[in-house]
Structure formats: C-alpha cells, structure tokens
A and B are shown apart, each in its own frame.
Chain A
C-alpha cells in the first residue's frame, strides 16, 4: 500500500479499481463511441492508446498524466458525467490541463447529483506505481491510497 498527496480540483470520497493510461488521454477519441452508441461502461475507443483501448472507464479510478487532443475534450467529459458514464474519479500525475479542468469544473458547477472527484499533481511516482486493477481510495483532502 502506498499513499500519494495531490491537489483537489473536484472534491469527494470514493473507492474504485484503477485503470491506467501512461500516455495522455485523448478525451474525444476515448469517449465518443461510448456516448454515441449507448455503451454504459464507457469502453475506451482510442486505438492510439494501447494502455486503455477496449477497457472500461465508467466507474473506474482513471489514472493518467494529462488529457490531450481536441478542444472538445471538456464538453465530452461533461457529457460523460451528465450521462452517468464518467470514471469514479480522475487522478492526474501532472498538473491538470485546461481541457480536463474545464470538464471537471463544468460537471461540478452545472450538474447535480454527479460526483467525480478529480485530483492532480500526484507525481510521476504515482503513475509508475499504480497498475490496472489495484484498489484506489480517494479522500476529499486529496490523499490517494493505492492498495496492491
């Protein structure tokens, strides 16, 4: 078990299984199919992301460095939250990028009864340590506990 401390972007407490992307997450490419074709598990549709392609993102602790790609990224994430297909939490090893921040904040301000804690700046060690399937516990103060 190891604990990491990050910065709270959207607060909340949650426990979920990790899915890990070591590359930047292309939000549009990853979520578009799931939103378009009614996939409630939000299977990642980005063929260019070997870590995540074909894996479930909804309800998982999504661990990543940053998001990349189209500036539709924030609204795609907002839609995923609104349609209840969002990850249980998003955990960034680096400082959050403007597109992911937009998605997280739009969901936080405009949607009721939707929870997706978002923590950033967890450090490169976090992404090196965490593996798919590990149990993640997020505390509202930004502490992230990873259990083997």
Chain B
C-alpha cells in the first residue's frame, strides 16, 4: 500500500484542484501495480516526452493535454520531445506529402503549440537523443526521471546512471506535472540488479545494432550484465563508446524491452560495483560470431519483393551523434571514390537532432557530405515509415529499431555503405 506524504495526500485529495488530483491518482495507481510503497521527487533538470507528433488519430491525447493546460497544471521541468514526423528535405512523393500533411499529421502545429504551453525546452527541442551535449538534456548520475522514449530511457539509466522506469507516453508528463514518480523497478537498487550475464566471445567488434538485438530478444525486460565488451569498447566512456552504446541500447530496448544494461568495466554502476550487480541465480547467454549470424539470418523479410531495388536509406534511428555524422562523411567519400562514383546511388537520409545538425553545419564536413548527395534531416524515420504508403517502399537501414517497428530492411553498417556508394546487392 502506498504511503503518501502530507503534501502528496493533499494533492491526491484534491486540495490543489481536481485535475492535479487525477494526475496523482494515475501515478499512485500505476505505482501500486508494481508494488511501489512511496512516491519520490523527480530530480532531473528536464523531462523527455515520447509523443512529438500531431497524429490525427491521437485526438484523445490532445484533449487530455488541454485539460492539463486549462487547469494550469503545467510541467514543473522544461522538456524535450521525440523528433518531428515531417521534414520537407526528406524525399516523399506527391501522395505521401498529401497524406502526411493533410491527413496523418494534420495536428502537428496544434500539438506543438500545446507542448510549448506545457513547457517545451525550446522550439526545436525535438529529438530522441536529447542527452547529446548539443541538445542539453543530459541527466546527472542518480537523477530521478519521468522520461519516456525507450532508447533515451535505456541510455539515461545505463550510460549516465540516472534512474528512470520505461514509462509510457502521457505517464511521462504526469510525473513532471505533479513532480513525483512512484518508486519501483529501475528506480530501486534491487531493480537495477542483473538477472542475465552476457558473455561476448566474438572474434571482432560486434555490430552494435545486432548485438543489442540479440540481447534484447533473449532477456526481454530483464537487466543484462555484459562481460567481454570492454575488450572492444575500452574502459572509458568516450565519444566512440557512447555512440556505440546509444545504438546498442536502442536495439535492446526495441527488440526486447530492456530499460537498463551494465557493461563490465565501462558503464558507471558496473565500474563501481562490478559483479555485485548480478543476482545469484542469473542465467548466462554466450554470444559468438555464429550466434550473431543466426540472429541476423532469422529476421523476417517483410518486403513484397525481397529483391526490390531500395528506394530510400535511413541512418539515424536513434538520431546520429556529431561524431557519427563526421565519421560517415569520411566513409561515404572514401567508398564513393573507390567505386568511381560521385554521389550516393540510393537516396540517403542521415538524421540527427536539430542542435547536432546546427553544429555539424559549422564544420567543414557539412559541405563534403552534401556533395555526396546524402541528405541530413531532423525527422523521425519511424514516423515517416509508419503508414501504408511508406510501408510499401523498399527502405533500407542499419537501425534495428526501425527494422522492428516498420518494413525497413536491416543491413550492417558496412553493407549499407556498400549499397549506397557502390550499388548492388550485398
């Protein structure tokens, strides 16, 4: 049974208004389902919301947001939100544009106005990688959060050492409106212990998106403790390691439901506590080259014509880092030169946070990437793909999250590079 403080009880009883009472009741009920005995303050500086899209079908969500706004129950923290679903820079045919703008996302402006009223950090704070330095929503170790967006939650918990459950949309903003979240699951020390040991025994650095997928599908919502990955990533959370973990984590969270992972000798809690984080009866999953190959080969082919020529390539789900954009500029240039080509052979979109793209534009890499024909965008590839028209398009990606939720076909980074610069099937 939940024990509320005097202030929390007063809110629950309606002394600060009927709407805020409903918000508190929602969170208390939510916590009770998972055995929470108390509500704890949200201590992170900013929140992050998963719902960024003015999808016509989500009318009831906008009605609920209106109730909060009209009652003056705004977010106590400013927040970022997931990427926008529309960007005119991204190739789309006439029919797609018509459906996107006049049918599916016809409430985009209306919803962005609601977000501004509720407490959006700034007008372009739309990205799934809000924790990038350029964006400025990077929690501190130990911060209690009320975030949603599975890839951001798993990154905040694992790489930054913040504490956040895998919240649903709407639950995310309720936590920052009332300022409290129920104390259970990944907020607790016990809930952060691992029930799986993952032994990495590959002969080369495993592909981040493939490794994350394998682990996610095996452990589902459990916490894995990964041994042997430091051999490939090192023991310092530098830019390269963080980028790897961003993509790895997104795959664990979307192919399974992982909210937290520990990497031995690398992520903060694993460095601090080591194997003390592992539960006594933890199971073991060994990953070698053959296991990754098995996972890759087992992905279902959902294209009508499996040999169709790709019409679009998306990179950046979750959004790319500044260093990733620079590295890929070098890689695309080099590979095009080797093949004697000047521009990419498949329309290709690299996605990143608006603030990261702004920083990228100030580097000498931006004109070089543009010269290869690659388009940069802040769009959410998932939202672009989530409709019957785009669903029929043969789209390729190295994002395992995009593969999971849409009809996009997954290839490794090297295979993607080959296809967009040299053509042909891999």
Chain A 38-82 interface mask (CB, 8 Å, partner B; 1/0): 000000000110000000000000000000111111111011001
Name the one of A78, A96, A97, A98 contacting B61, with C-beta atoms under 8 angstroms. A78
Q: Considering only CB atoms, which chain A residue lies closest to B35 in the complex?
A: A95
Chain A 116-147 interface mask (CB, 8 Å, partner B; 1/0): 00000000000000000000000000000000
| Inter-subunit contact A71/B104 (CB<8 Å) | no
| Inter-subunit contact B150/A71 (CB<8 Å) | yes
Interface size on A, residues (CB 8 A): 35
B355 to chain A, nearest CB (A): 22
A-side contacts of B29, CB under 8 Å: 105, 108-109
Q: Could you say which of B25, B33, B386, B388 has the most chain A C-beta atoms within 10 Å of its C-beta?
A: B33
Name the one of B26, B33, B153, B168 contacting A72, with C-beta atoms under 8 angstroms. B168
CA distance A10 to B59 in the complex (A): 23
| Inter-subunit contact B405/A28 (CB<8 Å) | yes
**Chain B, interface size: which category?**
35 or more
CB of B166 closer than 8 Å to a CB of A: yes
CA distance A102 to B148 in the complex (A): 12
A85 to chain B, nearest CB (A): 10
| Inter-subunit contact A102/B60 (CB<8 Å) | no
Interface of A is mostly: helix
CB of B195 closer than 8 Å to a CB of A: no
Q: Considering only CB atoms, which chain B residue lies closest to A107 in the complex?
A: B60
B245 to chain A, nearest CB (A): 19
Closest 8 interchain pairs by CB? A74-B168, A102-B168, A82-B60, A35-B57, A75-B169, A71-B148, A36-B57, A102-B171
CA distance A28 to B382 in the complex (A): 12
Interface segment among B48-56, B70-78, B274-282, B321-329: the answer is B48-56
CB of A14 closer than 8 Å to a CB of B: no
Name the one of B50, B51, B166 contacting A98, with C-beta atoms under 8 angstroms. B166
A26 to chain B, nearest CB (A): 8
With contacts A47-B302, A101-B34, A109-B29 taken as known, whether A70 is within 8 angstroms of B60 at the C-beta atoms is no
With contacts A105-B30, A108-B29 taken as known, whether A71 is within 8 angstroms of B22 at the C-beta atoms is no
